[in-house]
Amino acid sequence: MHPGDSMRSLNTSQILDVDNALSDFYYASFYRTMLAMSFFMGVFLSITLVGIAWSWTNRTHIQDPKRRRRATIVLSATGLLVVALLCIWVTDLQAQFALISNGGLFLPPGQISDPGINSISLVRYLTYREVSINIPVHTMQTTLLGVSTTLTFLMVYVVHLQRQSGLGLVGVTIPTLCVAMYLSAMGYWIVGTVFTARQISYAASDGNFLSASPSSPMSLRVDVTLSSTFFSLNVILSDVVVFWRMWVVWSKRRILLVVSAVFVLATTVLCIGNIFVEQAIFTSPDWVRALSTSRDSLELSFGANAFGLAALFTSLSSNVLATALIGIKTWQHRRLVMSNIVGHKRRTVAERVLVLLVESGALYIGIWVFYSTTILVPKLSAPDGYQLAFSSHWTPPAEGFIQSSVPQLTVIYPMIILILVALDKTRSDHHFAYNAPTPRDPSLQAVVVSFDVAVERSEHDISYPSETDVSMFGGTREVSKHPLTKVAPSVVDPAIV
């Protein structure tokens, strides 16, 4: 007999009780394990990928062909192992999602009006359905938290290694911002975890459903405020990081500092406005509906009202502007190198860093564009009002995935750049004496290398290459002076990466 046939002999209330019992069993037995597994999967993936990148960078330094071949085989096997573990993990998650999402316990719409439905069972069912929609979202957020945690420790280790190079206040600016964003992202995750645990607790007891209304408990209002604050803080700090890089690349021009300050201030004001609007949902829902930008008029998500959406597009504009200006500087740098050095085809260290900033910035912009788009389109979620159609399409909206990921991505994005530059610096250390091309101008002979690896100094010092140490965080030694870097300032340093 098909498993679904036995369910047809049960009435609606009995099916709801079976589904609720299944949910009770899952959340008591598997939910915490799933979150722990997701976190450590993120840790494992990040450590493995960074290790592969480091090994691949140093593979070219192995002179023995047999050892190099063995290193290539080990790297390939490690990559295949990561893919296999990832497939196993995803398959396990799919099985768990199927357990709590469908399993044949859904009824035809015609049976919803059954007068024998137990109201408490119905509310418990709806609460569990709401939680189950958020489980995939929270799982992905937990995995990204594992990634950001690992990268934070790696970044701190890189900074520690560079202390002997004279690490100053400028050198720790971006690492400090990254740590602040990581703490904020962790706070965002903790708030989401506590909220989900509270929903599960309510569903398991009396079936109370936490929703935004004037009668909502104070705990929900605190959760909403903290969640919006942590999210907004990471958005603002990520804009500060990208503008800081752009400002340093452009030799700290005052006009760009003013423009950056205006954009950051505008984003900050709009984020604060978004927090106040979300709080107004609990006190003045009719006023909030007038500011709604989504189909669900009382959506508790960043960007679901006019202030939040304006903050998103202001931040998006900030990233587009900063990335475009860094791209222009990259083009100027390339033209300068090609016009002054005969036969130079390889990318300089400075150019590789600039290209990395542009490419990663473009990817980050793409994520923001996608997130902003999901705010404005109909979402794949349960029908408005939670009319029980008992269909299997309880799918979390794309907006939920992106919103839960943004606080973690704002941390991962700058730290990956910093770590990749550290790996590139390691490769430059090993190939410091590569076959350098011949400059057309003999006076440039002494500054070919120092131009590539100079660290950030004052605006006056940036005008002249004066460094032969490839340290990212400081430690300069003057070798020559030439107005070569007036067009292409120093970029391989913590003030930028």
Quick check: 224 and 211 in contact, CB under 8 A? no
In-domain check, residue 462 = no
Block residue for tokens 């942590």: 230
**Which DSSP category does 206 fall into?**
T
Backbone angles phi, psi at 75, to 5 degrees: -65, -40
Number of separate domains in the chain? 1
CATH number of the domain at 278, please: 1.20.1070
Does 479 map to a domain?
no
pLDDT at residue 16, rounded to an integer:
74
Q: What is the pLDDT of residue 165?
A: 60
Tokens of 199: 């929903």
Within-domain flag for 310: yes
CA 29/CA 119 separation, integer angstroms: 26
224 Cβ neighbours under 8 A, 6+ residues apart: 212, 278, 279, 281, 282, 300
The DSSP string of 211-273 is: -SSTT--HHHHHHHHHHHHHHHHHHHHHHHHHHHHHHHHTTT-HHHHHHHHHHHHHHHHHHHH
- Residue 224 belongs to some domain of the structure: yes
Question: Among 272, 280, 187, which Cα is nearest to 226's?
Answer: 187
pLDDT tens-place values along the chain, 497 residues long: 455 555 556 666 777 777 777 777 777 777 888 888 889 888 988 888 887 777 776 666 666 777 777 777 877 787 788 788 888 877 877 777 666 655 444 444 445 455 556 667 777 777 777 777 777 788 888 999 999 999 999 888 888 777 666 555 556 778 888 899 999 999 999 988 888 888 787 777 765 655 655 566 777 778 888 888 999 999 999 999 999 888 888 888 899 999 999 999 999 999 998 888 877 777 766 655 555 544 443 344 566 677 888 888 899 999 999 999 998 988 888 788 777 765 555 666 677 777 878 888 888 888 888 877 777 765 544 344 333 333 334 445 566 677 778 888 888 888 888 887 776 665 555 444 344 444 444 444 433 333 333 333 333 333 333 333 333 343 333 334 444 444 444 444 445 56
Domain assignment of residue 64, yes or no: yes
| Helical ranges in 341-453 per DSSP H | 349-376, 398-430, 448-453
Question: What does the pLDDT read at residue 299?
Answer: 44
Please name the residues in contact with 368: beta carbons below 8 A apart, sequence gap of 6 or more.
312, 315, 316, 319
In a domain, 465, yes or no: no
Kindly state the tokens that stand for 311.
């903050």
Total residue length of the chain: 497
Per the structure, the complete domain to which residue 424 belongs is given by 3-430
pTM score of the predicted model? 0.74
pLDDT value of position 347: 64
Specify if 475 maps to a domain.
no
Q: Is residue 180 part of a domain?
A: yes
Residues in Cβ contact with 185 at an 8 Å cutoff, skipping those fewer than 6 apart: 145, 148, 230, 234, 407, 408, 410, 411
